[in-house]
Amino acid sequence: MTDLHCHILPGIDDGAQDVEASVALLKMEMEQGVDKVVFTPHFNCDEMPLEEFLRRRQKAYDKLMAALPSRIKNNMEFKLGAEVYFSPTLSSIDLAPLCISGTSYILIELPFVNAIKPTFLSDVLYDISSKGITPIIAHVERYPYILSDPTQIYHWVTAGYVIQVNAKTICQGDRMVKNLVEWGLVQIIASDAHSPKKRPVLLKEAYGHLRPDMAKYIKQSCVDVFDNYEIDVLEPHRPKKVMGRWK
């Protein structure tokens, strides 16, 4: 399996706070059958210069690699990425160093504190895409202004963007997320792991909640992103509201 979104690098964001926690999380990944991991620490271009983020990310990565047991290091592949917080400023900075290493995919996090869709969201996502970079919308289930009208997700998928949901939400049996998966509107499941106890890796359990064919499809989509291949997108269903419910 492949995990494209996690906060395992030590001491760089609200994820693993030290190397011990990082190693514990990677042991969980390996025990669940994960052999490819992308480290995606938070980055906000309005709060930190890109150069400083890249320096801190590399320092955290080097520190983890130096402490990693050979059993893990020799049996897993790692890449660097970032969970990039949405900002209109993204249109004017070099996004290549923030993409998943060696790929044209970038993980984008939207605001979820308030219920208002960000201004210029469509324009910025389009601008990113026009540069040959494919946005992956992180944990789409966390944005109330998107779930209130899931046709927005449909339009993103038809525009070529990639949709990710968290393993924990799948495990919790969230009805809307289940629908999004069944409608062919989700291509990626990731752990978004932050800590061994409070926000652990739940990928194996999450895939167990899916139909075997859908689990196989999403696992392959994750590998395709990791290897910088184009995802084979399923024919998406456009949700319609019937009697107050999306179907």
DSSP 240: -
CATH of the domain at 122: 3.20.20.140
Tell me the C-alpha distance between 212 and 190, whole Å: 17
| pLDDT score for 112 | 83
Percent above pLDDT 90 for the chain: 96
pLDDT digits (tens, 9 = 90+) for 55-114: 999 999 999 999 999 999 999 999 999 999 999 999 999 999 999 999 999 999 999 876
Q: Let me know: does 59 contact 11? Beta carbons within 8 Å.
A: no
| pLDDT score for 115 | 67
Place of tokens 């939207």: 110
**Domain range holding 164?**
2-246
Mean pLDDT of the chain: 96
Tell me the C-alpha distance between 78 and 73, whole Å: 9
SS3 state of residue 166: strand
Q: What is the 3-state secondary structure (H, E, C) of 20-65?
A: HHHHHHHHHHHHCCCCEEEECCEECCCCCCHHHHHHHHHHHHHHHH
Count the domains in the chain: 1
Cβ neighbours of residue 72 closer than 8 Å, sequence gap 6 or more: 23, 26, 27, 30
| pLDDT score for 74 | 95
pLDDT digits (tens, 9 = 90+) for 113-155: 766 888 899 999 999 999 999 999 999 999 999 999 999 999 9
Does the pLDDT of residue 47 top 80, yes or no? yes
| pLDDT score for 79 | 98
Cβ neighbours of residue 121 closer than 8 Å, sequence gap 6 or more: 86, 110
DSSP string covering 4-26, please?
--B--STTSSSS--SHHHHHHHH
